[in-house]
Amino acid sequence: MDKILINRSDAIGDLILTIPLASWIKINFPNTSVGFIVRKGNRCIAELSEHIDEIFEFDQKANFFTSLNAYRKILKEFPADIFVDVGGNKWGSVAAFILGVKTRLGLKHKLLPWLFLNKGVSQSRSLALMHEVEYNLCLLNPILPAYSHENLPEILTGLNLDRSKLKEEGSHLFQKLFPHVSSNSKKIIIHPGMTGHSLNWSARNYARLGQIILESFSDVTVFFSHTPSDAEYMTTVREQLKSVESNYENRLFYLDGSKLGLSDFIKVISAADAYCGGSTGPTHIAGILGIPFLSIFSPIKTQSAYRWGPLTTGQLSKVVYPDVVCGEDRFCAEKNCPYYDCMGKIEVKEVFESFRLILGAGQVIPNPEKTGA
């Protein structure tokens, strides 16, 4: 095996949970060259792995003819012996077949992969019997030894991270963006937004969490990060905190990740002292960067932390989810469920107590004001 090309041209979290495939390939065949096809703008995520040799950006929504031409150019530059179709652009398996890639692996979950992957693997991922990383690693079983749980620590160490450099660059960005923030203040990033179908904690509760953190610690600055797709969440957060913003001058800020760009957003997250968010890309970034984090997940099988939990590198972390036995596989039954609204039953004080441990030693304000959380 000289060259293996992996197609994962979709969301940030999906890509992060696919990167370990490159590590497992290199562990077994160190001289194999690994290429990754990623969504436009996600190159800097793939660059975090020392086991990825070539990176190609791709429009995941491109039509068939545009996609075929793009795949032709990629395969001319990176003549792969093996193509692994994990997710993203739906024409990958077809293009690999037409363009003559001999061995075509991937997830056989829809018609096209069933027809055009000759070494594809069928999986019932809706059962959520293992983590997404494990499901992805199993796609390599036709060409590699099956991984075991004992291999996972080694597989997950293939991140090419100079954390001290990233943190230094992130600290400079923080100083440039927020010059009035004390250099001694602990920086907390809360990312309340989320795209997709997964259940999320309410924006109101994220706002209340930020408020109680500010009220309880005198040496903490809270940054609510967001992108344009989080507009609905951020409107609620700002409305919730509007009446108290003046109480936390130079300690409460809003950080628009889209204005930074993903590369700089990664650097900013790397300089944080702690992070809180739901099942979303920035949470996965915090995980692989080694930032202490608290994440809030849905209990639904295909949305659960058991399936989608962030990867960690040994840092302090905590996953919070509703204490219910959810019988749903994919979507919330809403008012037909006896536990509805289960995400709303996650108390702010409960999350704060867990986050206090994640934050570590902080200067606690005596007799903090009652927040009603």
Residue 84 DSSP SS3: strand
The last residue of a domain, from among 99, 132, 155:
155
CA angle 68, 86, 130 (to 5 degrees): 170
The last residue of a domain, from among 131, 155, 179:
155
Enclosing domain of residue 124: 3-155
Cα–Cα distance measured from residue 90 to residue 340, given in angstroms and rounded to the nearest whole number: 35
List the single range of 31-35, 144-148, 194-198, 289-293 with lowest mean pLDDT.
Answer: 194-198
- Residue 160 domain flag: no
Higher pLDDT, 315 or 371: 315
Half-sphere exposure of 57 (CA within 13 A, CB side): 8
Are residues 147 and 174 part of one domain?
no
Average pLDDT over residues 165-170: 92
- Residue 120 domain flag: yes
Q: Grade residue 364 by pLDDT with cuts at 50, 70 and 90.
A: very low
Q: What is the mean pLDDT of the chain?
A: 91
Statement: residue 136 has pLDDT above 80: yes
Say what the pLDDT of residue 158 is: 65
Are residues 187 and 149 part of one domain?
no
For residue 105, what is the domain's CATH number? 3.40.50.2000
Cα–Cα distance measured from residue 261 to residue 7, given in angstroms and rounded to the nearest whole number: 23
Domain count, the chain: 2
Stated pTM of the model: 0.92
> What does the CA dihedral 63, 17, 170, 203 come to, rounded to 10 degrees?
80
Are residues 115 and 255 part of one domain?
no
Express each pLDDT in 259-299 by its tens digit: 899 999 999 999 999 999 999 999 999 999 999 999 999 99
Say what the pLDDT of residue 44 is: 94
Express each pLDDT in 151-161 by its tens digit: 887 887 667 67
Q: Grade residue 361 by pLDDT with cuts at 50, 70 and 90.
A: very low
Statement: residue 362 has pLDDT above 60: no
- Residue 366 domain flag: no
Q: What is the DSSP string of 271-308?
A: T-SEEEE-SSHHHHHHHHHT--EEEE---SGGGSHHHH
- Residue 181 domain flag: yes
Cis ω for the linkage preceding 341 (within 30 of 0): yes
- Residue 265 domain flag: yes
Q: Grade residue 368 by pLDDT with cuts at 50, 70 and 90.
A: very low
Task: Decide if 301 contacts 329 (C-beta within 8 A).
Answer: yes
Q: Grade residue 369 by pLDDT with cuts at 50, 70 and 90.
A: very low
Are residues 122 and 30 part of one domain?
yes
Are residues 202 and 66 part of one domain?
no
